[in-house]
């Protein structure tokens, strides 16, 4: 562990940044201290909250505020990018070009081209780019991944991924606008379960080679007439899908199916990954592994699992990677593989045919 505090900067200190800041507070002692040195945001109110609640030292406002921040604080240990998807590429690349390690919130970006540019900037700068995927840090994820690594499931041949809300159309932010968000539920929610699926499939980054997708819009662009948790979304600006479905083929023969929706007519919200292998299977939400043992079909679950806070582990991982103490287990290379699937679904839906990647 380092004896020096980790000096961090933020670009964007809105909703999700607050989850990061709370996690930093919790883990501060265990990583040798944290200093919230600087933050850039276009909203003075967001800056005020960060100053008042988290001891933010220096603030930079305006669209170019982040450039000034990067110039004035070359001694930061890392920058956490928590702006809307439309700015992920611009802010991560500027951070890397300033010679600083960057963590970017999910999804990595809006497009594959942006992800490629971000990875190129990281390579050129020789600095770490961490994609802030989080479900891999869950206790059940750790258990299932280890069983896959040890070969208990054999070869994973099929993966079923669901990121479905019965009715959860965001009534804030830019999550329902294609140009700003890159898409709807597939890129916003599907990305979470997809990063988990890709992680659970085992060591090595699964390489998608073809994607076939379809999307539908039937509800979000109409006035809200139903009691639901986030009422009165702005249907006038809604131009993303309500439901997206994708089928992915990977190099090596494995296949994956993903369903993502803000508004699916289902009994309850479902977020899950199911693996089927040649020797065994697993369901993430149950934390169970299914195998044959000595003539019996057996369902296995650990008697004890150390619970982990995904936010604490996500921030700890970034700090240790930025310090060079740990291998990057959520890199831009993996982010790119995930992005190819997300955008592949949209591209295939638009083209009306399977897309080879």
Q: Which is nearer to ligand NAD, 82 or 156 (CB)?
A: 82
Interface with ligand NAD (CB under 6 A), residue total 23
CB of residue 277 vs ligand NAD: minimum separation in angstroms? 28
Residue 106 contacts ligand NAD per CB under 6 A: yes
**Closest residue by Cα to residue 204 from 115, 337, 321:** 337
DSSP secondary structure string for all residues of 22-36:
HHHHHHTGGGT-EEE
Q: Which spans in 106-231 are helix H?
A: 112-125, 139-149, 178-181, 185, 191-200
Residue 43 contacts ligand NAD per CB under 6 A: yes
User: What is the three-class DSSP state of 339?
Assistant: helix
Residue 13 contacts ligand NAD per CB under 6 A: yes
Q: What angle do CA 132, 135, 141 make, to 5 degrees?
A: 135
Rounded CA separation 282/20 (Å) = 30
**Strand 280-283 versus strand 270-277 pairing type:** antiparallel
Largest CA distance in the chain: 66
Residue 40 contacts ligand NAD per CB under 6 A: yes
Residue 63 contacts ligand NAD per CB under 6 A: yes
CB of residue 3 vs ligand NAD: minimum separation in angstroms? 30
Rounded CA separation 130/302 (Å) = 30
Interface segment toward ligand NAD; rule CB under 6 A; list 12-20, 48-56, 301-309, 334-342: 12-20
CB of residue 15 vs ligand NAD: minimum separation in angstroms? 3
Residue 42 contacts ligand NAD per CB under 6 A: yes
Interface segment toward ligand NAD; rule CB under 6 A; list 42-50, 160-168, 288-296, 320-328: 42-50
Rounded CA separation 185/303 (Å) = 35
Residue 83 contacts ligand NAD per CB under 6 A: yes
CB of residue 222 vs ligand NAD: minimum separation in angstroms? 24
Residues in contact with ligand NAD by CB under 6 A are 11-17, 40-43, 46, 63, 66, 82-85, 87, 105-106, 134, 173
């Amino acid at each position: 562990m380092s004896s020096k505090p980790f000096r961090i900067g933020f670009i964007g200190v809105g909703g999700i940044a607050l989850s990061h800041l709370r996690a930093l507070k919790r883990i501060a002692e265990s990583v040798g201290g944290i200093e919230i040195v600087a933050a850039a945001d276009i909203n003075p109110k967001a800056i005020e909250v960060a100053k008042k609640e988290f001891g933010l030292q220096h603030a930079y406002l305006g669209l170019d505020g982040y450039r000034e921040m990067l110039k004035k604080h070359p001694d930061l240990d890392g920058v956490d990018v928590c702006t809307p998807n439309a700015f992920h590429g611009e802010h991560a690349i500027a951070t890397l070009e300033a010679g600083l390690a960057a963590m970017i919130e999910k999804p990595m970006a809006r497009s594959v081209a942006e992800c490629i540019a971000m990875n190129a900037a990281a390579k050129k700068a020789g600095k770490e780019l961490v994609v802030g995927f989080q479900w891999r840090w869950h206790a059940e994820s750790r258990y299932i991944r280890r069983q896959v690594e040890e070969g208990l499931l054999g070869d994973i041949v099929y993966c079923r991924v669901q990121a479905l809300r019965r009715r959860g159309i965001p009534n804030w932010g830019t999550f329902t606008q294609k140009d700003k968000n890159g898409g709807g539920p597939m890129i916003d929610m599907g990305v979470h379960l997809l990063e988990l699926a890709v992680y659970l499939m085992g060591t090595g980054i699964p390489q998608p080679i073809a994607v076939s997708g379809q999307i539908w819009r039937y509800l979000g662009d109409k006035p809200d007439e139903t009691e639901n948790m986030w009422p009165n979304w702005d249907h006038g600006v809604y131009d993303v899908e309500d439901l997206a479905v994708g089928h992915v083929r990977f190099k090596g023969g494995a296949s994956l199916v993903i369903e993502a929706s803000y508004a699916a007519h289902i009994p309850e919200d479902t977020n899950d990954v199911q693996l089927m292998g040649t020797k065994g299977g697993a369901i993430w939400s149950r934390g169970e592994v299914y195998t044959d043992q000595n003539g019996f079909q057996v369902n296995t679950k650990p008697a004890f699992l150390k619970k982990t806070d995904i936010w604490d582990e996500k921030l700890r991982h970034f700090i240790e990677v930025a310090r060079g103490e740990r291998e990057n287990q959520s890199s831009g290379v993996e982010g790119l593989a995930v992005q190819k699937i997300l955008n592949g679904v949209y591209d295939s839906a638009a083209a009306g045919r399977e897309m080879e990647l």
